[in-house]
């Protein structure tokens, strides 16, 4: 216990110090939201990994590995290929250039500048803000579960410790503090996961032995799609891989990177760093060999940690999980606060704020949203990966196609964009709520499909059909987006 306390106090103290060090650097809302577009490739890449792989991936992904076996390695492979490398190659450069051309600092403000649609801005900001809070709850739950199992602390104490430290350095230091702490957290997380996987494999006698022992329990724990089935495996892989293309806390990393050269180096660094995505699923599957029965699958990784690591290793791993959760939570807080203040309050409700007042409003909003997340996390529902998938499904159904088509298809119609957002959200929510509504049950073949697939598919149909039938955005907005020729007044 003493070792855990020492490691955590040193680690959390260092994070708070980074927040204080950057407190004077955020002089405007733009600095607070995207760090003045001045961040290098290593910091951007590692902070992307840290923001992407939260405690949800480590704890929730491990839980899925325990429950569904080695087929879940495909989720990790999808995270690296689709969620990271292809996202950087396909979206990175255009988003960096276009948001700079439009002087947009949030995803909704990009929609406003690109499409000239205040309604799309407010809708995206509202949906993103609301459902990212749900995501933050699952992130806090992951951290608190680890404190609970590894330190025998009550769940609520874990929630409070994690939440309050993040709130402090986010509100004080803004994006630069978040991105630098994320880099440190990314390194801690990579080391911690590699250590756990190495020790787990050593203890079980290697991957071949683990596969053999899992097959003895159930051959479906080794094969693909195995005990899960294709519908569930493909749905979840798409949500947590393709879903990143519509997640503002990840997309924002492209806004802040300095130039194209750094984007290239960042793509290689982020791909190598992101490869750790397979480890939680691998460790989760191995944990089934050691702990065949668990009250909740979310306890698989913390339980494995207790078995294969000593106190110092366990403390390092807990620091890694806390790191993963904090970096994501903080990145999400910045997104929610800047979207709600800038896109909803200033532009949606027409309440002009001075730069200093907007910065203060951002800080206050991040504190308020953080406290709300913290309060909900004290009594959260469901498995954390289920919660996450739900919030990602709705947010990605809103933002994915308007963003992708917005940077590649000049003709994309503003009205079709808004219709696609509304259709995507409505379809994802309806599909997820279907079993609880007084409606005939879905056929078994469809029931395993997640609302994400339904929402994004319908959103795609609407944006393509609506664009083919409708009118593109005015030429001046397209010129402003592609060439920065005129002021698009996105801000």
Partner 1 sequence: MAPWNLPWSTFGAFIVLAVTIVLAVGWALWDRRRDHREQP
The footprint of partner 1 (CB under 8 A) covers 70-71, 73-74, 76-77, 80-81, 85, 88-89, 206-208, 211-212, 215, 222-224, 226, 260-261, 264-265, 267-268, 270-272, 275, 278
Measure Cα distances from 74 to 26, 211, 388, 448 in Å. 40, 16, 18, 17
Q: Nearer to partner 1 by C-beta: 241 or 397?
A: 241
Q: Nearer to partner 1 by C-beta: 4 or 281?
A: 281
At closest approach, how far in Å is the CB of 201 from partner 1?
A: 10
At closest approach, how far in Å is the CB of 223 from partner 1?
A: 5
Q: Nearer to partner 1 by C-beta: 155 or 482?
A: 482
Q: Which of 398, 103, 356 is nearest to 243 (CA)?
A: 398
CA count, 13 A, side-chain hemisphere, 158? 27
Q: Nearer to partner 1 by C-beta: 162 or 241?
A: 241
> Residues with Cβ < 8 Å from 157, sequence gap 6 or more?
147
At closest approach, how far in Å is the CB of 364 from partner 1?
A: 40
Is residue 347 helix, strand or coil? Answer: helix
- With tokens 């308007």, the residue in question is 402
- With tokens 């683990």, the residue in question is 210
Q: Which of 240, 228, 230 is nearest to 138 (CA)?
A: 240
Q: Nearer to partner 1 by C-beta: 189 or 477?
A: 189
At closest approach, how far in Å is the CB of 161 from partner 1?
A: 34
At closest approach, how far in Å is the CB of 374 from partner 1?
A: 36
> Residues with Cβ < 8 Å from 422, sequence gap 6 or more?
123
At closest approach, how far in Å is the CB of 56 from partner 1?
A: 20
At closest approach, how far in Å is the CB of 85 from partner 1?
A: 5
Q: Nearer to partner 1 by C-beta: 202 or 351?
A: 202
Q: Nearer to partner 1 by C-beta: 208 or 352?
A: 208
323: which 2 tokens? 């790191």
Measure Cα distances from 189 to 185, 193, 211, 322, 485 in Å. 6, 6, 25, 9, 43
Residue 39 bridge partners (DSSP): 257
Residue 257 bridge partners (DSSP): 39
Is residue 479 within 8 A of residue 486, CB to CB? The reply is: yes
Q: Print burial letters for 296-315: b (CB count within 10 Å at least 16), e (below 16).
A: ebbbbbbbbbeebbeeebbb
Q: Nearer to partner 1 by C-beta: 264 or 306?
A: 264
Q: Nearer to partner 1 by C-beta: 274 or 322?
A: 274
At closest approach, how far in Å is the CB of 80 from partner 1?
A: 5
Q: How far apart are CA 404 and CA 330, in angstroms?
A: 25
At closest approach, how far in Å is the CB of 33 from partner 1?
A: 28
């Amino acid at each position: 216990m003493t070792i855990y306390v020492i490691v955590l106090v040193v680690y959390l103290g260092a994070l708070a110090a980074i927040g204080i060090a950057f407190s004077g650097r955020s002089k405007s809302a733009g600095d607070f939201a995207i760090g003045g577009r001045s961040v290098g490739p290593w910091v951007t890449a590692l902070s992307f990994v840290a923001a992407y792989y939260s405690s949800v991936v480590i704890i929730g992904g491990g839980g899925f590995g325990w429950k569904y076996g080695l087929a879940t390695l495909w989720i990790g492979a999808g995270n690296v290929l689709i969620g990271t490398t292809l996202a950087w190659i396909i979206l990175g450069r255009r988003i960096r250039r276009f948001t700079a051309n439009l002087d947009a600092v949030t995803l909704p403000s990009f929609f406003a500048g690109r499409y000239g649609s205040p309604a799309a801005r407010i809708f995206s900001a509202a949906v993103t803000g609301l459902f990212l809070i749900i995501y933050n709850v699952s992130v806090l739950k992951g951290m608190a579960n680890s404190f609970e199992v590894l330190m025998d602390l009550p769940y609520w104490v874990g929630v409070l410790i994690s939440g309050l430290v993040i709130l402090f350095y986010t509100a004080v230091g803004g994006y630069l503090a978040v991105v630098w702490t994320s880099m440190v957290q990314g390194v801690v997380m990579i080391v911690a996961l590699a250590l756990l996987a190495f020790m787990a494999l050593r203890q079980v006698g290697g991957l071949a032995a683990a596969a053999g022992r899992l097959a003895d329990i159930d051959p479906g724990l080794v094969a693909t799609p195995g005990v899960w089935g294709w519908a569930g495996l493909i749905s979840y892989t798409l949500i947590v891989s393709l879903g990143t293309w519509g997640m503002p806390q990840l997309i924002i990393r492209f806004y802040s990177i300095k130039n194209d050269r750094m984007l290239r180096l960042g793509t290689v660094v982020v791909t190598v760093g992101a490869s750790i995505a397979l480890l939680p699923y691998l460790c989760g599957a191995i944990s089934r060999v050691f702990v065949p029965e668990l009250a909740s699958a979310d306890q698989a990784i913390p339980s494995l940690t207790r078995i294969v690591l000593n106190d110092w290793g366990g403390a390092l791993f807990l620091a890694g999980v806390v790191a993963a959760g904090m970096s994501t939570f903080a990145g999400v807080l910045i997104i929610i606060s800047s979207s709600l203040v800038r896109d909803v309050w200033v532009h949606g409700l027409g309440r002009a704020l001075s730069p200093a007042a907007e910065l203060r409003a951002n800080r206050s909003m991040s504190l308020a949203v953080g406290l709300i997340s913290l309060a909900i996390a004290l009594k959260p529902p469901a498995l954390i990966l289920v919660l996450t998938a739900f919030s990602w499904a709705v947010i990605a159904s809103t933002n994915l196609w308007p963003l992708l088509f917005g940077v590649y298809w000049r003709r994309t119609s503003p009205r079709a964009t808004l219709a696609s957002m509304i259709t995507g959200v409505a379809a994802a929510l309806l599909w997820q709520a279907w079993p609880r509504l007084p409606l005939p049950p879905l056929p078994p073949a469809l029931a395993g499909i997640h609302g994400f697939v339904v929402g994004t598919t319908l959103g795609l149909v609407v944006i393509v059909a609506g664009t083919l039938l409708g009118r593109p955005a005015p030429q001046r907005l397209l010129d402003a987006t592609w060439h920065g020729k005129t002021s698009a007044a996105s801000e």
